[in-house]
């Protein structure tokens, strides 16, 4: 906290980024590229590498007990909290505003400048690599450090509680620390420079958006009665069938659904001849599909590339 008579100095952000953050980003970016190339083992290892204890400590020491980030509790000329009835009713920021802000700022924190990644991408990575991309919403100690630190946020520069609008003029892209560590406080209280006075820096960070095509699509399958038994259990191969591991696949309402494979997603109706179970291979989550090879051929899938050798 600022002492009386102390010199007031503004800073760019609450806490200066450390080199390990950018090393984690490099590992995550390479992991995404390896996944696209089909090297799931290498991708899993890189995501695990990005789960850096030093990055976790850098972030969590600053977004727990955020009052310690305040430099001056009552700076002269600062704004004040206004009644809830006078605040912008759209506290959560409308989708079109979020889109415009992201297009303007890109995948980079406007405060500290580190790359950021949308939560959607983290969820995709966690589903594809559950062994290395852990995420527990109730326990920060069980959240992947890289995705936690680079978690894209939409930040109200002027706090919503002080009359800040949910507009493109008042909302900027930020990382987790610069948003949660800022909390309800003003820039003057934190002695942080207004990021809007600097032009957005377009450094080419892509937010790992190349993983978005591997998102599990919402099921769009024919209506069917719920099977009397769970057809996802006891997958013992019948005569003429093979076991295939499909990364990112899942089971819903008696169907196995796949992520995009060779341009489109597929579905398989489960039966006594077509069975499935959840599995993890080399840290990659997905499903084992047990069926006749011709079933994959009819759907344009090269089964030889998916044979389960475990």
Residue 6 maps to a domain: no
Residue 7 maps to a domain: no
Residue 5 maps to a domain: no
**How would residue 216 be classed by pLDDT, with cut points 50, 70 and 90?**
low
130: its two tokens: 């559950």
Q: What is the pLDDT of residues 56-89, one digit of tens each?
A: 999 999 988 899 999 999 999 888 888 888 888 8
Report which of residues 53 and 273 the model is more confident about. 53
- Average pLDDT of span 254-279: 86
DSSP state letters, the chain: -PPTTPPP--BSSSS---HHHHHHHHHHHHHHHHHHHT-HHHHHHHHHHT--HHHHHHHHHHHSSGGGG-S-SS-TT------GGGS-S-TT--HHHHHHHHHHH-SB-TTT--B-B-HHHHHHHHHH-TTTS---TT-GGGS-HHHHHTB-EEEESS-GGGT--SSTTTEEEE-HHHHHTTTT--HHHHTB--GGGSPPP-----TTGGGGGGS-PPP-----PPPSS-TTS--PPPTT-EEEEEET-EEETTEEE---BTTB--EEE--SSSEEEEEEETTEEEEEEEE-HHHHHHTT--GGGTB---
Q: For residue 307, is pLDDT > 50? A: yes
Q: 77 and 144: one domain?
A: yes
Q: What is the pLDDT of residues 6-15, one digit of tens each?
A: 556 899 999 9
pLDDT at res. 220: 52
| Full domain range(s) for residue 98 | 19-214
pLDDT at res. 284: 84
Residue at which a domain ends, from 189, 214, 239: 214
Q: 143 and 260: one domain?
A: no
Nearest to 20 by CA among 114, 107, 110: 114
pLDDT at res. 299: 86
Residue at which a domain ends, from 198, 214, 230: 214
Spatial separation of the C-alpha atoms in residues 200 and 61, rounded to whole Å: 27
**How would residue 179 be classed by pLDDT, with cut points 50, 70 and 90?**
very high
Overall domain count for the chain: 2
Chain centroid offset of residue 141 CA: 16
Global pTM reads 0.73
Q: 189 and 310: one domain?
A: no
- Average pLDDT of span 96-100: 97
- Average pLDDT of span 144-170: 95
């Amino acid at each position: 906290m600022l002492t009386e008579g102390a010199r007031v100095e503004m800073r760019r952000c609450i806490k200066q980024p450390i080199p390990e953050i950018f090393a984690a980003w490099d590992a995550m970016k390479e992991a995404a590229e390896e996944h696209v190339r089909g090297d799931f083992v290498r991708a899993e290892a890189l995501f695990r590498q990005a789960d850096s204890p030093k990055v976790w400590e850098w972030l969590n020491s600053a977004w727990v007990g955020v009052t310690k980030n305040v430099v001056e509790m009552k700076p002269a000329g600062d704004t004040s909290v206004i009644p809830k009835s006078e605040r912008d009713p759209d506290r959560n920021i409308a989708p079109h505003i979020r889109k415009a802000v992201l297009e303007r700022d890109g995948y980079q924190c406007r405060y500290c400048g580190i790359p950021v990644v949308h939560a959607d991408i983290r969820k995709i990575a966690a589903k594809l690599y559950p062994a290395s991309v852990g995420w527990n919403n109730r326990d920060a100690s069980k959240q992947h450090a890289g995705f936690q630190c680079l978690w894209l946020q939409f930040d109200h520069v002027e706090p919503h509680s002080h009359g800040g609008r949910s507009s493109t003029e008042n909302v900027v892209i930020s990382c987790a620390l610069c948003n949660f560590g800022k909390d309800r406080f003003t820039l003057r209280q934190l002695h942080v420079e207004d990021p809007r006075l600097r032009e957005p820096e377009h450094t080419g960070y892509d937010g790992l958006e190349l993983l978005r095509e591997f998102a599990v699509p919402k099921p769009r399958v024919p209506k069917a009665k719920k099977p009397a038994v769970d057809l996802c259990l006891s997958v013992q191969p019948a005569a003429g069938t093979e076991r295939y591991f499909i990364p990112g696949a899942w089971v819903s309402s008696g169907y196995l659904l796949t992520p995009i494979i060779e341009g489109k997603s597929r579905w398989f109706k489960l039966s006594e001849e077509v069975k499935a179970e959840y599995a993890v291979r080399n840290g990659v989550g997905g499903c084992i599909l047990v069926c006749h090879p011709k079933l994959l051929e009819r759907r344009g899938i090269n089964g030889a590339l998916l044979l389960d050798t475990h």
